[in-house]
Structure 1
Amino acid sequence: MVVSHLRQMKELCFRSPVTVLVGENGSGKSTLLEAIAVAFGFNAEGGSRNFNFSTSATHSDLHQYLTITRNAYPKDGFFLRAESFYNAASYLDEVYEAELGSQVKTAYGERSLHKQSHGESFLALVANRFRGQSLYLLDEPEAALSPSRLMTLLVQINDLVKKKSQFIIATHSPILMAYPQAEIYQLSESGIDTVNYRETEHYQLTRRFLENPEKMLHYLLAEE
């Protein structure tokens, strides 16, 4: 589906310092983000351009059909995806630490990412590894983070945006979608469209539920 949409659009522009890809499960947002990452030279399972590991070659070949054009070349970057973060952390422990020793602890925090919780290690990587004038691709980071930690991530993103970094984020989280400067692309059967934050189904459903959870639960769980 995402392939046909891209073919019809000819180009997809990322003008904002933060671009958010939203859509229902199976809409292709993670596939698109992965293709952008691989086209930029990042490891398909996550990491920087220097991560050379593969536990399962399951990524799509969409990247082969993308042409990336940019006004400026980022100094650094990272593809951070929640579903394979464990593999990236293992790669750091098994390979990088053996080769670089204390330099890895400096770049990724004082402790092994595996010795922290999923959310702690996620935020530690952003705090210690991410820097200015770089490109960062985040695939569903909410899978690792509580609502309060998502707000912490928003602060980290904003600090990096001030340092001229750019983010492309695939997410279901209304918290991340709310970033003030974000441009939101919604992927659906009808195409890839720019939408306002409050127009997203994620925002509308979450708001309806929180405003009256009893009514929503009665509707959802009512016996036929």
Structure 2
Amino acid sequence: MFLKAVKLKDDFVPNQEHYPFSIPALAQLDELSFDHAVTFFVGENGSGKSTLLEGIADQIGFNPAGGSKQNFQVFDVHASESALSEYLRLSWMPRVTDGFFLRAETFYQFASHIDDVDWTGYRDYGGKSLHAQSHGESFFSLFQHRFKENAIYLLDEPEAALSPNRQLAFLRLMHDLLSKGNVQFIIATHSPILLGYPDAQIYHFDETGIESVAYTDTEHYQVTSYFLQHRERMLEQLFMEDE
């Protein structure tokens, strides 16, 4: 691993009346350690997982709108990156300079940016414009051709464009990279498939803070597992709530 921990700067006291520290999990953030090559952030929408991931990306020097250091100044879709990153301190051993930050919600703008600046024949994107591929194909082309060794990858909901089979293929791609060493992944996700990666660290974000949980203790696993085993009963209970 490269990134060992993230914490709030010394002596900083969050103001819980203002964003992003109005998010309970972030208001209670002290120090979060990364002890595994793969770390997942999970929690409900608005729980702070994507906000923290974006803050880490900005501190590393990646474009907080999505991309790498090379994309920092010329590709921008919003200015929320300053909301958290200025209050964070990252601990490294050693510090890494290569990698990528994927934001599913701004991937279209990133693809348009690559069309404007790429001069290599889309070498890192499967040999053709990301806009010339389906949404799922463009995501997987990025993973397959752009991701290399000696790098850190921050991914915000990478499953957004991936079918279940593609998610399994992405797990294999991760495994192949990790087997060579010197690669670290930090992923915010709702996918019980991705969360199943072996020996991954899982942090759950909610109103009580951020805590490490086991895969089978995640709501993603429990709800999905129960639904698959008891589909009719669960749907009956769900629809009865509206009657």
TM interval, shorter chain, is over 0.9
After superposition, what is the alpha-carbon deviation per residue over 1:87-112, rounded to whole angstroms, capped at 9, x for unaligned?
A: 11110001x22xxx2x2521222111
Task: Name the residue aligned to 1:89.
Answer: 111
SS at match of 2:39: strand
Is the Cα–Cα contact under 8 Å of residues 58 and 81 in structure 2 kept in the other structure? no
- Separation of aligned partners in 2, 1:143 and 1:107: 21
The 5 A counterparts of 1:138-157 are 138-157=155-174
Confirm whether residue 56 of structure 1 aligns to residue 73 of structure 2. Answer: no
SS at match of 1:46: coil
Q: CA deviation at 1:25?
A: 1.1
Task: Name the residue aligned to 1:16.
Answer: 36
Confirm whether residue 4 of structure 1 aligns to residue 22 of structure 2. Answer: no
- 2:134 is matched by which residue type in structure 1? S
* Alignment equivalent of 1:201, drawn from 208, 215, 219: 219
- Separation of aligned partners in 2, 1:105 and 1:80: 17
* Alignment equivalent of 1:117, drawn from 116, 134, 157: 134
Unaligned runs of 5+ in 1: none
SS at match of 1:61: helix
Q: CA deviation at 1:212?
A: 1.2
After superposition, what is the alpha-carbon deviation per residue over 1:146-177, rounded to whole angstroms, capped at 9, x for unaligned?
A: 11111111111111112220000000000011
Confirm whether residue 187 of structure 1 aligns to residue 205 of structure 2. Answer: yes
- TM-score when scaled to structure 1? 0.93
Is the Cα–Cα contact under 8 Å of residues 3 and 62 in structure 1 kept in the other structure? no
SS at match of 2:40: strand
Confirm whether residue 136 of structure 1 aligns to residue 158 of structure 2. Answer: no
- 1:111 is matched by which residue type in structure 2? K
- 2:113 is matched by which residue type in structure 1? Y
Moved over 4 A (4+): none
- Separation of aligned partners in 2, 1:150 and 1:141: 9
- 2:26 is matched by which residue type in structure 1? V
SS at match of 1:131: coil
* Alignment equivalent of 2:54, drawn from 12, 22, 34: 34
User: How many residues of Structure 1 are paired with residues of Structure 2 in the alignment?
Assistant: 216
Unaligned runs of 5+ in 2: 1-23
- Separation of aligned partners in 2, 1:3 and 1:183: 19
Is the Cα–Cα contact under 8 Å of residues 2 and 32 in structure 1 kept in the other structure? no
- TM-score when scaled to structure 2? 0.86
- Separation of aligned partners in 1, 2:45 and 2:82: 16
Task: Name the residue aligned to 1:127.
Answer: 144
After superposition, what is the alpha-carbon deviation per residue over 1:176-224, rounded to whole angstroms, capped at 9, x for unaligned?
A: 1100021000001111100000000110000010001110100001143
- Separation of aligned partners in 1, 2:25 and 2:66: 21
SS at match of 2:61: coil
Q: CA deviation at 1:15?
A: 1.4
CA RMSD, aligned part only?
A: 1.2
